[in-house]
Amino acid sequence: MKTAVVIGAGAGGATAAKELQGKFNVTLLDAGAAFRPFAFDLSILEKLRSTRLFLSEKMIGALYPVYRTERTRDGMVLVSGRAVGGTTGLTCGNAVRVDDGLAKIGINLAREFSELESEIGVTTDHRHLWKKTTNDLFEICKDEGLGPFGVPKAGDYKNCRNCGHCTLGCPFGVKWDASAFVREARDAGARVVQRCVAKKITFEGRLAAGVVTNRGFFAADVVVVAAGGLGTPPILENSGIPTEQRLFVDPVLCVAAAYENACQNTEIPMPFAVQMDGFIIAPYFDYLSFFFNPKWRKPGKDILSLMIKLADEPAGSLRHKTLTARDRRRLDEGVRRCRRIFQKLGVEAGGTFLGTLNAGHPGGMLPLTEREAETLHHGRLPRNVYVADSSLLPASLGNPPMLTIMALARKIARVVIDNAGA
């Protein structure tokens, strides 16, 4: 049986490994270790905010090593996760079909979306978990004609305890994450190698021969790179495969207000959303701002926050990522919309404050085009090398990308199998 090495055990890599195992002998490499939910008592950490312990967002890595942060040239904080399951353990659990950009170039993911929704369990039946304030916000958005909708969640929310820790790792096993697919692949015979940092792909002639890592060399008949929107481009570049300077990151900016007993910090994040032109708005308690932004020094239970998630223009790379003038205009429009919603809730004009501009959905540096719609294999890649993550997305989704990445990765894995005659 042929061998496949999959780099990265996040949404794309875990899905690809699960699909490939059995048709190939799969080795799944991940730079992180097993994912574990955040173990600290948040009430104790909240009391420590008045000290000088939390100097900057880089401290989050000391508290919770799964998290990685880096600032772009213009001050935006890029957030990522390093663990088996990738950043899926740190998401809000959203499972949204967002494939307009892929559909425009001729890629149909309907089959894969349906299969994944059935396998992982996707539901919008979680309104019983919403706080009164969240229901009030929903009704305001409806009255404003904004078309709010319950965000589909991956997992079994009948057992949700509304602890509000989704983005720190679900401690009760309610929220689905990609480590479940890693376990399925391993149970089917895949080899999973943790703390294994892929450095580059080596070649014999025009074909990949394997992957060089900090833990040695892994030979392969097929290599699937799924190290994420920030991780995949350096591996490709180190391997002599050029990428494009067109990174998008889905920037997030929260608009918050002091609101007594909102208790949003003990509620599922992003319970509903409003889709605008180029961004979405959703209720979201931002722990990054709560711990590291001095404007957020109020008790957690008394902060109410609305997230703006932007579909930014693809421009720049990791250290040179900047927001364009259009991005800034859309963020400003989002802030105005959020403030109007808060005013309808009774928050006085001028009673809001902003969070820390951050981002965690990078991609777009090896975008697919109409030429690759059938093969799903970028023209710059050797015949036996594939990419299966957000690097392939032609444009920012401006929405939670997990389900879309998984659907694309599954479709790519099937192409790999067909091409190998496996």
Stretch 7-36: mean pLDDT, rounded?
A: 96
Cα 121 from chain centre? 18
pLDDT tens-digit map of 330-355? 999 999 999 999 999 999 988 999 99
Give the phi and the psi of residue 368 in degrees, each rounded to 5. Answer: -75, 150
Report the alpha-carbon distance of residue 416 to residue 340 in Å, rounded: 50
Q: What is the pLDDT of residue 73?
A: 79
Q: Read off the pLDDT band of 50 (50, 70, 90).
A: low
Q: What is the pLDDT of residue 232?
A: 97
Q: Read off the pLDDT band of 24 (50, 70, 90).
A: very high
Q: Residue for token digits 């060399």? A: 217
Helix (H, G, I), strand (E, B) or coil at 303: strand
- In sequence order, what are the beta bridge partners of 262? none
Q: Read off the pLDDT band of 317 (50, 70, 90).
A: confident
pLDDT tens-digit map of 304-313? 999 999 999 9
* Contact yes or no for 88/155 (Cβ under 8 A): no
Q: Read off the pLDDT band of 45 (50, 70, 90).
A: confident
- How many residues in the chain? 422
Query: What is the pLDDT of the chain when averaged over all its residues?
Result: 93
Q: What is the pLDDT of residue 422?
A: 54
pLDDT tens-digit map of 162-173? 999 899 899 899
Torsion-angle region of 267 (φ positive above 0: left; ψ -120 to 50: alpha; else: beta): beta
Q: What is the pLDDT of residue 63?
A: 67
Stretch 413-418: mean pLDDT, rounded?
A: 97
* Contact yes or no for 216/130 (Cβ under 8 A): no
pLDDT exceeds 60 at position 380: yes
The sheet with strand 216-219 has its strands ordered as 198-204, 207-213, 216-219
The pairing of beta strand 198-204 with beta strand 207-213: antiparallel
Q: Of 51-60, 118-127, 134-143, 413-422, where does mean pLDDT reach its minimum?
A: 51-60
pLDDT exceeds 70 at position 109: yes
Report the alpha-carbon distance of residue 414 to residue 209 in Å, rounded: 21
Burial of 301 (0-12, 13-18, 19+ CB in 10 A): middle
Q: What is the pLDDT of residue 55?
A: 57
Q: Of 198-212, 241-255, 288-302, where does mean pLDDT reach its minimum?
A: 288-302
pLDDT exceeds 60 at position 391: yes
pLDDT exceeds 80 at position 159: yes
pLDDT tens-digit map of 257-283? 999 999 999 999 999 999 999 999 999
Helix (H, G, I), strand (E, B) or coil at 422: coil
The more confidently predicted of residues 60 and 394 is: 394
Cα–Cα separations (whole angstroms), residue 127 to 134, 149, 260: 9, 11, 21
Cα–Cα separations (whole angstroms), residue 324 to 74, 226, 316, 360, 394: 11, 28, 10, 18, 17
Instruction: Tell me 418's DSSP state.
Output: H
- In sequence order, what are the beta bridge partners of 203? 208
Q: What is the pLDDT of residue 82?
A: 87
Task: Look up residue 193 and give its two tokens.
Answer: 């190698």
Q: Read off the pLDDT band of 80 (50, 70, 90).
A: confident
Per DSSP, helices labelled H in 121-193 are: 132-143, 179-187
Helix (H, G, I), strand (E, B) or coil at 63: helix
Q: Residue for token digits 């001050």? A: 75
Q: Of 65-79, 185-199, 223-237, where does mean pLDDT reach its minimum?
A: 65-79
Report the alpha-carbon distance of residue 68 to residue 81 in Å, rounded: 6
pLDDT tens-digit map of 61-74? 666 778 878 888 77
Q: What is the pLDDT of residue 62?
A: 65
Report the alpha-carbon distance of residue 31 to residue 9 in Å, rounded: 9
Report the alpha-carbon distance of residue 198 to residue 238 in Å, rounded: 10
